[in-house]
Amino acid sequence: MVATFQANGRLGYTGTYRIVGGRAGTVTWVPRPGEVIERGGPVYAVDQRPVPLMYGSVPFYRPLDPGSAGADVRQLEENLLAAGFSTAGELKVDDTYTATTARVVERWQHALGVEETGSIAAGDAVVAPGALRVGAVEPLAGQRTQPGETVVSGTGTGHSVLVDVPVERRSFVQEEQSVAVLLSGGRTVHGRVASVGTAADPPAGGTGDGTASANRTATPGCQGAVCGGRVAVEIALTAGEAELGGLTEGSASVTFAADTRRDVLSVPVEALTASPVGGFVVTVVDADGQRPTPVQTGLFTSGRVEVSGPGIDAGIQVQVPTP
């Protein structure tokens, strides 16, 4: 038996990202709102030089060349390998920028149509956790831009539902927990709990040159991730576009499991009768007739109740009054 509770929320795209540029110059190209930018795709161009997207969290904040070492070098090599500019047999992904790294960077630069230096300058690429759906473009083509200025804002390409769960139900919600999501069109899809807010963990803002930051937005007027006795919970949907029936936004209702009892017996709630001496009885019906049988009750859910006690065995029949 599973006891459940529901929380209402809104369907939307996963995450809110703000891309901060790291190059100075004149913006010569920008994407259109609604476009999806994947790894290696241009996010904008400065002085006719495309600035592509790489996946990760460390901004390209400094020059990189042979001898450089750090997490940003590893991130660069991971992206070059994933984009097909090298193979695992050629390029060893680690924290060290080697002559091999420089050779692979030259291939990448050739594909971009820029000077093949084998080194990286600050702001040569921007990073985000994954593919980006463009929401708004801040500088227009022809405008000047400086390092640290927002160039594009948008969302991820996946779908999620943001709900506010009552604080008293917080203990029933765990990250990676499976849930059922009822969409506004009547479809039910599967999801998992991606994040659970706490008072000490408010939604994050965007910081860092060339870095996209995720911002899980709480209900307007909330302070932090706990608002009016409710906790902000993000549900990542495992359903594909087809299963969503074309929905990208709208209301949604999420069903969480509050309590689970395995290998128990249950009867319809209507089968319970109050006993004169306290507690409840059910009327067992068998070949010998009908007999009131005391029961211990447990979980109540979906019109049924968990019961146990002497003479209560799997397969017995109980009397349910006719409405």
pLDDT of 65 higher than 70: yes
Lowest mean pLDDT, pick from 20-29, 43-52, 173-182: 173-182
The arithmetic mean of pLDDT across residues 171-188, rounded, is: 88
**Overall CATH class of domain 265-318:** mainly beta
Query: What does the pLDDT read at residue 209?
Result: 41
Q: Which CATH number fits domain 29-135: 1.10.3720.10, 1.10.101.10, 1.20.1250.20, 3.40.30.10?
A: 1.10.101.10
pLDDT digits (tens, 9 = 90+) for 108-153: 999 999 999 999 999 999 999 999 999 999 899 999 999 999 999 9
- Residue among 263, 283, 264 nearest 273 (CA): 283
Q: Enter the tokens of residue 295.
A: 């029961």
Q: What is the CATH number of domain 2-14+157-260?
A: 2.40.30.170
Report DSSP letters for 141-176, one per residue.
TT-EE-TT-EEEEEE-SSEEEEEEEEGGGGGG--TT
**Identity (one letter) of the amino acid at 318?**
V
Going by pLDDT thresholds of 50, 70 and 90, the confidence category of residue 63 is: very high
Lowest mean pLDDT, pick from 20-24, 27-31, 241-245, 248-252: 241-245
Hey, where are the domains in the chain? 2-14+157-260, 29-135, 265-318
- Which residues have CB under 8 Å from 241's CB, separation 6+? none
The arithmetic mean of pLDDT across residues 232-242, rounded, is: 83
Report DSSP letters for 184-231, one per residue.
TTS-EEEEEEEEE-BTTBPPP---STTB--------TT-BTTEETTEE
For residues 311 and 309, give the distance between their C-alpha atoms in angstroms, rounded to a whole number.
6
Going by pLDDT thresholds of 50, 70 and 90, the confidence category of residue 199 is: low
Query: What does the pLDDT read at residue 228?
Result: 54
Share of the chain above pLDDT 90, in %: 59
Mean pLDDT over each residue of the chain, to the nearest integer: 87
Model's pTM, two decimal places? 0.66
Is the CB of residue 96 less than 8 Å from the CB of residue 69? yes
- CA end-to-end span of the chain: 25
pLDDT digits (tens, 9 = 90+) for 72-100: 999 999 999 999 999 999 999 999 999 99
